[in-house]
Each structure stands twice: as structure tokens, then as C-alpha cells.
Amino acid sequence: MTAEHQRGLAELAAQGRLRQLVPRTGLDFSSNDYLGLAESPELRAAVAAAIERGVPVGSGGSRLLRGNHREHEILEAEAASYFGSEAALFFASGFMANFAIFSTLPQRGDLVVHDALIHASAHDGMRNGRATCVAARHNDAGDFEAAITRWREGGGRGRPWIAVESLYSMDGDIAPVDDLAEIARRHDGMLVIDEAHATGVLGADGRGLAAHLEGAENVISLHTCGKALGAAGGLVCASRTLCNFLVNRGRAFVFSTAPPPLQAATVRAALSLCRHAPERRERLARLVAHAGRELNQCCGLAASGTHIMPVIVGEEMRSMDLAAALQARGFDVRGVRPPTVPAGTSRLRISLTLNVDEADVSDLVRALGAELSGRAS
């Protein structure tokens, strides 16, 4: 290790921001496995069946070489049908899918107006793209439109792109997708909706919060497969032209080894469960409602109303200390601090999944209330 790297790590440690990998322990209140599919018997059986019928464990190359497999193509067709888009393209991760969208599709002379709290993968894609990029205030549709208007008045002649998450990963709040879709329509713009934390959970049949917008020529959606779907990968749903453009110009697609065909088969099984097993979504909705009531009654806190429930603490070390205290009590709750969230908004990110039940949630909230009030019980 170089001296520069050692100094960099020492600086992070001095700031209390040195990241480390730790084993998973305690009840799951931190994962994105919202429907409890990752370790489900249904997906285990689907994997075993896929192996039995000869689906390869590895792809052996990029999709444009020998890595393309029938399982990829069947998944993309089924995903397009399920989500309601003209076409779909499968990536090895949601991060790479987002990176590909923003580094490839907006062109020189275009403007990307993105929500200030959008995923890091979108930021990385924009930094590697050719369009001008500006941030809009979080969930403020008027600020998105104002940014486009200022750009046009300043001589902007390309196409505006609006980029948002439908459900925000650290705040658990929902984007005004209908207002943003109308702004995109008025300005002949594109709307990119990252459904990562809504896919499988929210919207008709778990198709996401913007399911009613899918299929429009100016709408692109990203559906992550490693969260509620319990598998891995990312699906870009868009027009066939845009998907073909990504196949030809998306460096994150062209130069990446294809996702394992076995992974594609697993995602297909997860989509089938979402389509045909609504009881998982219904159970999670009941758990969210229960958690909201408990959080309000025990801690006097308002819940987000979704399966992502932040408890804003503010001060960094207090957030991390609270997380450590809850972990010591057997609850896997993580503290989140800058640069992942804005300064002064360090928090506990409580994630609700079907890996716990209502009794577990009640126990967690009581423990949280005790820690917040300073009780040692």
C-alpha cells in the first residue's frame, strides 16, 4: 500500500468515516430484501430447476461476443411485458444500468436536470456523459421546470432530461412523477425514473410507482433486481431504439461480461412471483402500517409511510452510536452519514422486510425509544 493510501485511510479514521466490512448479525432491519425473496424456498427451487435444465452458471463473455444466452433474451421479453415497456435490457447490476443510461443516452447539447438526492450511480454516469447536468431541489417539480426554462432562455437547444428516483433510498419519500411527466411532455423532454426501491413492492402488481407511464417513447425506467426481487442485476425498460443504442454505444454494456444466465433465470422466477403472489406485498404493507403506528406511539416520530423509514438524528457520531446500541440489542440497523446523506442529516435507516414480523418491529421500536430517551433497559 502506498503512503498516500495509508494517509487517506488515516484521515477517514480520524473523521470517524472509515468503512469496514462486517458480518451480518441480528434481525434484518437494514437490507433491501423487502419481500424476503433472497433466501426464499421459491427462488432456491427456481435456481435448482434452472441448473437441472442446463442453464449455465457463467456467461463466458460479453453479450456481444458469446455471452448472450437465451435466458437473457427471455428475461428481457418477459420484463418488457411485465413492466409495460417496448423493450428491456439486462445489466449485471443496477449501478451499471444507471451508469449506462446517463453516460450514453443524453447527448452533447442536452440538459440533464436531476433530483439533488438521486443515486450515486446516476451521478457517476452523468460525470462520464456529454450533457450539461444540474441539480433540482428534492421533489420540487417547479424547480425542475425552472432549470429547463433558464437553460432554454440561455440558448439551450438540445433535449432536456429529467432524472429522479420514484422512491428515495435514504428518505423513503416518493417523487411527484406525474407532475414531472407533464413537465417533460411540455418541454419535449425525456423522463428517467429509477424504480430501484419500488420495483416489486409498489404500484400495480409491484411494477413500480410509475407503471402507468411505462411504454411512452420519452420514458425510461430502471428496475433493480437485487432489492425486492431478491436476485441481482438491473433492467432498463425503454423504447427498442434506446435499448439498441445502449447495446451499440453503452460502454458499461459493450465491455462488460454478461450477467450469468443463471442470474437471468432467477430474476425471471422473481418477476413471476411478483406477478402471481400479491400476498407478499400485502404482508409488507401491513408491516409498514404497524411500524408507523409503533414509531409514533412509542417514539413520537412520524414514519415515512413506506418500507424505508429514516430516523433523522442530525449529528454523525450520535447516529453511529445509536446504531451500535441497537445492534448490541440484536437489531441490524445501520447509521448513515455524510457523504451518503447531506451534512446535518445523519440518520438511522430502518428498512422493513419480510425477514421480520410485527413482534420484531415492536421490539425494535421499543429499543429505539429506550435509546433515544437514554434508558438503559
Q: Which residues are catalytic?
A: 32, 119, 165, 169, 194, 197, 227
| DSSP letters spanning 199-242 | TTTSSGGG--TTGGGTT-TTEEEEEESSSTTSS--EEEEE-HHH
Ranges of H-type helices in the chain? 3-14, 41-52, 70-83, 94-104, 120-127, 141-153, 177-186, 240-249, 251-254, 261-276, 279-299, 316-328, 358-373
CB 340 within 8 A of CB 269: no
- Provide the 3-class DSSP secondary structure of residue 346: strand
β partners of residue 134: 113
Q: How far apart are CA 111 and CA 113, in angstroms?
A: 6
Q: How far apart are CA 185 and CA 362, in angstroms?
A: 45
- Identify which of 83, 348, 45 has the alpha carbon closest to the alpha carbon of residue 213: 83
What do you get for the CA distance between the two ends of the chain, in Å?
45
